[in-house]
Amino acid sequence: MDRTLCCRSCKLWGLERVLSLGGMPLANALLTEEQLGQPEARYPLDVAFCPECSLLQITETVPPEAMFREYPYLSSFTEVNVACARELAQQMMVAHDLGADSLVMEIGSNDGYLLHIYANEGVPVLGVDPAENVAAVARERGVPTLCEFFGAEVAERLRGSGVAADVIHVNNTFAHIPDLNGLVSGLGTVLKDDGVIVIQVSYVEDMVNTVAFDSIYHEHLCYYSLTALHNLFHRHGLELADVQHLPIHCGTLRVFVRKATAEGPPESVHGILKRERTLGVTKLPFYQDFGSRVERLREKLVRMLDIIKTEGKSIVGYGAAAKGSTLLNYCGIGPDTLDYVVDHSTVKQGRYTPGSHLLIEPPEKLLETMPDYTLLLAWNCAEQILAREAEYLRLGGRFIIPVPEPKVCTWGG
């Protein structure tokens, strides 16, 4: 137990370290060619568990301004995000009878990929996102966006100006915000009494079970079980009204949060809380062997890549997302192993991956050069990518899927 570490949620002093990935560059700090020769900032990437509230969290807090004021990730470039956003928005509009007198907010609204669906149906929206470049994109598509870091102070200011939301979305952003208690307090401030907060977070049980260590990077400060979420919301007079376990991103929790009622959370929520207790998700031993399993995976993947290179074969990477940065840097994979990385985001193309310094090319480069193997860094989107790159596979290309166990996929295989 490290008495110097304080829990981000319950403020307990004394967390248990369970994994260290070493010093890492910021996962989304893509480089220009001119920056390649300059020093890169690196920060410790250690993971610790709180025995009091069951929250898994990293120990280092990088200033948010260093990560989010200029952000290279646009949600609209990820097909699964867009499809899920459309389905969720339609569901919420029907379930809550949203119309011209309603308000839907999103914290971490990115390029307006979700809110513009509501806006197109005549539902007023308001996005909050600190990244100036993506906020500008959102505004261009008709989504009013406040370019700020959301918290208790911003919420009080919004409520004072008459802002009160029927629905507040926090999609894959909840883990990014350092001041957890300020965030949750702020959500309660701008939520109408009969409103609902819809939060999507990666599910820590799935992350541990699938050895998805590449989900860990400095932007992701916390990794949630339902128990950790329940404890956090309860502290602020909010409660879990419903929960869905989704397969996207290799395991996601979608929780629906409301102001606390006399009845408390429904049985469906209590059932999952009980299951987590039974499986040990709320206790330290569940996480203690995570580090050794991650090390074994690294050894297997590096050995596989070394053998391929020894045979004189070429390898490239697919997906310049943040998770790919963690995998490349932890495994020590760079230009000696991969020729380049491809990514669909035009914002990323022409830049270089942090730490590993691989040039990011458009996906068309695959068919132009026909590398023998492609390391699928965005393995959580394997089904969509393999279908999209069917011609590469048909012509003899092979994909390496690194997690949860390194394996090779071929045409028809």
Residue 268 belongs to a domain: no
Q: Assess if residue 46 is contained within a domain.
A: no
CATH of the domain at 393: 3.40.50.720
Are 222 and 336 within one domain? no
Q: Is residue 393 part of a domain?
A: yes
Range of the domain at 329: 290-409
Report the distance separating Cα 158 and Cα 246, nearest Å: 32
Q: Are residues 153 and 192 in the same domain?
A: yes
- For residues 300 and 311, is the Cβ–Cβ distance under 8 A? no
Whole-number Å distance between alpha carbons of 85 and 106: 12
Are 324 and 402 in a shared domain? yes
Q: What is the DSSP string of 73-96?
A: --GGG-HHHHHHHHHHHHHHHHHT
In this structure, what token pair is assigned to residue 199?
A: 């939060």
246: helix, coil or strand?
Answer: strand
Does 242 map to a domain? yes
What is the edge-to-edge ordering of all strands in the sheet holding 222-223?
Answer: 2-6, 13-24, 43-49, 56-58, 222-223
Together in a domain, 227 and 152: yes
Q: pLDDT: is 63 or 95 the higher one?
A: 95
Number of domains in the chain: 2
Rounded distance between C-alpha atoms, residue 199 and residue 145, angstroms: 19
Indicate if the pLDDT at residue 77 is higher than 60: no
Same domain assignment for residues 219 and 302: no
233 in the same domain as 191: yes
The whole-angstrom separation of Cα 377 and Cα 342 is: 10
Q: At 253, which helix (H) or strand (E)?
A: strand 252-259
Stretch 235-259: mean pLDDT: 93
Percent of the chain residues past pLDDT 90, beyond the cut: 82
Q: Which of 261, 282, 316 is the last residue of a domain?
A: 261
Taking phi over 0 as left and psi of -120 to 50 as alpha, with beta for the rest, 237 belongs to left
Contact (CB, 8 A) for 92 and 154: no
Tell which phi-psi region holds residue 368, choosing left (phi > 0), alpha (psi between -120 and 50) or beta.
Answer: alpha
> Per-residue confidence at 374, pLDDT binned at 50, 70, 90?
very high
Residue 272 included in any domain: no
Does 8 map to a domain?
no
* CA-CA-CA-CA torsion sign (116, 122, 126, 132): positive
Q: Give the model's confidence band at 117: pLDDT under 50 very low, under 70 low, under 90 confident, else very high.
A: very high
User: Who has greater pLDDT, 176 or 53?
Assistant: 53
For residue range 132-151, list pLDDT tens digits in order.
888 888 899 999 999 999 99
Is the model's pLDDT at 101 over the cut of 90?
yes
Q: What does the alpha-carbon distance between residue 80 and residue 85 come to, in Å, rounded to a whole number?
A: 8
198 domain-assigned:
yes
Average pLDDT of the residues of the chain: 93
How far apart are the C-alpha atoms of 320 and 377, rounded to whole Å? 7
pLDDT at 133: 86
Residues 240 and 308 in one domain: no
Would you call 204 helix, strand, or coil by DSSP?
helix
pLDDT score, position 67:
63
Q: With 90 as the cut, is the pLDDT of residue 81 above it?
A: no
In a domain, 47, yes or no: no
pLDDT given at position 78: 62
- Give the pLDDT score at 235: 96
State the average pLDDT over residues 149-165: 96
Q: Is there a single domain that holds both residue 314 and residue 401?
A: yes
Q: Is there a single domain that holds both residue 294 and residue 331?
A: yes
pLDDT number for residue 289: 85
- Confidence (pTM): 0.90
**74, pLDDT greater than 70:** no
Distance between CA atoms of residues 271 and 243, nearest Å: 10
3-class DSSP state for residue 40? coil
The CATH number covering residue 86 comes to: 3.40.50.150
Alpha-carbon 400 to chain mean position: 22
Instruction: Give mean pLDDT, residues 282-290.
Output: 92
Per the structure block, which two tokens stand in for 383? Answer: 């089904």
3-state secondary structure of 326: helix
Q: How many helices (H) and strands (E) does the chain have?
A: 15, 18
At which of 222, 244, 261 does a domain end?
261
Q: Quickly state the pLDDT bin for 322 (edges 50, 70, 90).
A: very high
What 3-state DSSP class applies to 46? strand
220, 242, 261 — which closes off a domain? 261
Q: Is the pLDDT of residue 298 over 70?
A: yes
Structure tokens at 289: 């062997």
